[in-house]
């Protein structure tokens, strides 16, 4: 166990951990922040949310919801690519 | 409901699904020997398979039938649920996937027990698993019983027996391998069925989203009011509480967390949840559109709606009725069978997580202190599966008239308030101690149960009082907050020897959580 702890001094590992942590919290913060903001704003700007989106009957609130779903999907795909590329032979077992 | 023709399609699709799933169980049983096989399918599931299985775990009857019903009732308000589902899975990927995979073997108890006092943490985790799994299991089975009663004209008792027996057979004989494949097949069935339902529904509007929404507004009694948020919730605390139930609850569901360990490593874990987000996101997109199409077509059609605009058989039946309007009897039978298969696959996953908590975390690790042969542990797991399956069948008979929505909300809220704070702080906060985690878990459980009883869902709807003492529908903002607060305060003031050991072991855990088994 203490052997494991000593590996924290490894500069390679430190760098990967730093990048991973940056990705982890920025991605989490962005998607959760947008979701909560969208939800709470719906309480105060209900009429705006109900207004038509670009002249269609699709309301703005729902259109924003659809956009956030697509955003979450895109962010997930990007996150998997970025973090799985960060992996080095030294810091994480490769698959297969 | 329906003539014999309906039943024949539904029953043949369903019998085909059950036969296939039993063949898979037989095939999986021959490959399930060790505890590793039983709980995690030998960690040999690929990212794509696991992504489908994860998505399948979440696309339960509650999401497919319940959320379309919620759109039907609440219009735009339902979007906070569908969006919550998608966002919470993305969060699970960003924050937890790799560290969870690297630290755990069989259950999420492995993570909270990694550096803390193992016996106490496993008891807490097993309790956290059962208090989530049992209500969730009962909610799904009660829902299944009523659904099958309506669709197939099988009495409730028989329906619950069929679902309960099949899930027990899958898990007891086929373990995680059978459970995963049943879930994968069901996910594919549900995705294709759902997509087909969406396309058929859209064809009734000439594939014009504009016409879909304008006809929905014309048909509904509230008119364009269904686009205005605030019908189901109208204060920021309820919105945040609801959002937290999804965000923290999903990351605290034991049967979901258990799937992290069925893939070989952290890379595959990320990939599998990435696929799950794509599948779930697409499905949530479809659900909102299907819900609004149902508003337009079901009300215009009038056959399934009474004068007050209520759906016969409850709002959960919306997507099933819609399938009949847009696709005729054959498609109606198909969707009914898919809905049944969905429930069956989901309850199997929950049952497996409950039996792992009892047999592995509680019996093998706490009572036997790990002094148990692999063979014995698998045998105990199988018997635990049978015992929990039988208990769930019995309780489902008893809770026949319980509101399914309340039960599954309570389960999600408990997952958020008991399991999530312990997992989150164990992974990311070096200061967490055993005493703090236990105190926080107990606090979360007590607060969530007390607030749920005092909230409008039980105090007013079930107990019949005039006004609720706790005015918000969801307890999570306060219960999760209290659990975090108590965990942190108790951990900080903990000067025991154990606490010092808990803190000192964090660096080693950190390295393992970031690197996996290789170093």
Q: What is the pLDDT of residue B90?
A: 97
Q: What is the pLDDT of residue A88?
A: 55
Q: How confident is the model at residue B5 (pLDDT cuts 50, 70, 90)?
A: very low
Contacts of B210 in chain A (CB under 8 A): 56-58
Identify which has the larger pLDDT, B437 or B471.
Answer: B437
Q: Mean pLDDT across the stretch B473-496?
A: 95
Coil, strand or helix at B311: strand
Residues forming a β-bridge with B269: none
| Helix and strand totals (H; E) in chain B | 22, 0
Tens digit of each residue's pLDDT (9 = 90 or more) over B113-131:
999 999 999 999 999 999 9
* Contact check, Cβ <8 Å, A69/B277: no
Contact status of B274 with chain A (Cβ, < 8 Å):
yes
Q: What is the pLDDT of residue A55?
A: 66
**Which B residues 479-498 touch A at CB under 8 Å?**
none
Identify which has the larger pLDDT, A80 or A54.
Answer: A80
Q: Tell me how far CA of residue B74 lies from CA of B97, B164, B168, B248, B358, in angstroms.
A: 33, 32, 36, 24, 39
Q: What is the pLDDT of residue B361?
A: 93
Q: Mean pLDDT across the stretch B126-150?
A: 88
Tens digit of each residue's pLDDT (9 = 90 or more) over B301-360:
887 877 666 777 777 788 888 999 999 888 988 888 888 888 889 999 999 999 999 999
* Contact check, Cβ <8 Å, B285/A77: no
Q: Which of B58, B71, B86, B266 to mutate to test the interface with A (most CBs of A within 10 A)?
A: B86
Residue for token pair 């009572």: B367
Q: Residue A7 and residue B515: Cα distance in Å, rounded?
A: 10
Q: What is the pLDDT of residue B430?
A: 95
Is A34 in contact with B199 (CB distance < 8 Å)? no
Q: What is the pLDDT of residue B103?
A: 93
Tens digit of each residue's pLDDT (9 = 90 or more) over B196-207:
999 999 999 999
Q: What is the pLDDT of residue A87?
A: 64
* Cβ neighbours of residue A26 closer than 8 Å, sequence gap 6 or more: none
* Contact check, Cβ <8 Å, B91/A28: yes
Q: Which of B46, B48, B511 to mutate to test the interface with A (most CBs of A within 10 A)?
A: B511
Q: What is the pLDDT of residue B478?
A: 96
Tens digit of each residue's pLDDT (9 = 90 or more) over B252-301:
999 999 999 999 999 999 999 999 999 999 999 999 999 999 999 998 88
Q: What is the pLDDT of residue B417?
A: 96
Contact status of B22 with chain A (Cβ, < 8 Å):
no
* Contact check, Cβ <8 Å, A59/B213: yes
Tokens encoding B356: 């792992």
Q: How confident is the model at residue A30 (pLDDT cuts 50, 70, 90)?
A: very high
Contact status of B242 with chain A (Cβ, < 8 Å):
yes
Q: Mean pLDDT across the stretch B47-73?
A: 87
pTM of the model: 0.92
Q: Residue B162 and residue B17: Cα distance in Å, rounded?
A: 14
């Amino acid at each position: 166990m203490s052997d494991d702890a000593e590996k924290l001094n490894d500069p390679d590992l430190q760098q990967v951990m730093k990048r991973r942590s940056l990705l982890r919290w920025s991605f989490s913060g962005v998607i959760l922040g947008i979701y909560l903001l969208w939800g709470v704003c719906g309480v105060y700007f209900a009429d705006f949310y109900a207004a038509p989106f670009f002249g269609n009957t699709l309301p703005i609130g729902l259109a924003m919801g659809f956009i956030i779903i697509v955003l979450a999907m895109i962010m997930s795909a990007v996150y998997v690519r970025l973090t799985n590329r960060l992996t080095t032979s030294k810091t994480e077992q490769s698959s297969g | 409901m329906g003539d014999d023709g309906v039943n024949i399609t539904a029953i043949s699709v369903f019998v085909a699904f059950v036969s296939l799933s039993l063949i898979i169980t037989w095939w999986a049983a021959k490959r399930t020997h060790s505890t590793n096989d039983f709980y995690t399918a030998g960690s040999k599931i690929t990212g794509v398979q696991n992504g489908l299985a994860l998505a399948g775990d979440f696309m339960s009857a509650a999401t497919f039938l319940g959320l379309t019903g919620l759109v039907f009732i609440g219009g735009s308000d339902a979007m906070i649920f569908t969006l919550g589902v998608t966002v919470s899975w993305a969060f699970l990927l960003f924050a937890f996937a790799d560290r969870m995979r690297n630290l755990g073997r069989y259950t999420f108890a492995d993570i909270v027990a990694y550096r803390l006092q193992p016996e106490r943490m496993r008891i807490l985790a097993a309790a956290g698993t059962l208090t989530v799994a049992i209500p969730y299991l009962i909610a799904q089975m009660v829902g299944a019983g009523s659904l099958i009663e309506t669709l197939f004209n099988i009495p409730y008792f028989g329906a619950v027996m069929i679902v309960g027996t099949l899930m027990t057979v899958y898990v007891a004989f086929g373990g995680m391998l059978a459970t995963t494949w049943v879930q994968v097949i069901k996910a594919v069935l549900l995705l294709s069925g759902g997509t087909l339902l969406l396309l058929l529904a859209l064809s009734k509007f000439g594939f014009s989203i504009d016409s879909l929404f304008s006809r929905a507004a014309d048909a509904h009694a509230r008119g364009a009011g269904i686009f205005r948020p605030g019908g189901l919730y109208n204060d920021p605390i309820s919105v945040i509480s609801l959002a937290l139930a999804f965000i923290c609850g999903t990351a605290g569901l034991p049967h979901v967390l258990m799937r992290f360990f069925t893939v070989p490593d952290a890379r595959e874990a990320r990939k599998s949840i990435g696929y799950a987000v794509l599948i779930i996101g697409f499905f949530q997109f479809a659900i909102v559109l299907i819900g609004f199409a149902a508003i337009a077509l079901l009300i215009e059609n009038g056959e399934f709606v009474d004068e007050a605009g209520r759906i016969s058989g409850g709002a959960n039946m919306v997507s099933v009725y819609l399938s009949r309007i847009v696709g005729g009897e054959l498609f109606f039978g198909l969707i009914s069978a898919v809905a049944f298969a969905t429930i069956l696959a989901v309850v199997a996953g929950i049952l497996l997580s409950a039996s792992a908590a009892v047999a592995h975390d509680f019996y093998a690790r706490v009572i036997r202190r790990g002094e148990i042969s692999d063979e014995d542990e698998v045998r105990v797991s199988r018997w635990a599966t049978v015992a929990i399956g039988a208990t769930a069948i019995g309780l489902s008979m008893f809770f026949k008239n319980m509101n399914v929505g309340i039960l599954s909300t309570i389960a999600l809220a408990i997952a958020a308030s008991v399991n999530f704070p312990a997992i989150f702080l164990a992974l990311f906060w070096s200061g967490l101690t055993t005493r703090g985690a236990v105190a926080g878990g107990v606090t979360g459980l007590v607060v969530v149960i007390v607030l749920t009883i005092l909230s409008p869902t039980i105090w007013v709807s079930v107990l019949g009082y005039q006004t609720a003492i706790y005015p918000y529908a969801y307890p999570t903002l306060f219960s999760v907050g209290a659990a975090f607060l108590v965990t942190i305060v108790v951990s900080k003031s903990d000067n025991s020897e154990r606490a010092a050991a808990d803190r000192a072991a964090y660096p080693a855990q950190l390295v393992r959580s970031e690197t996996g088994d290789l170093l």
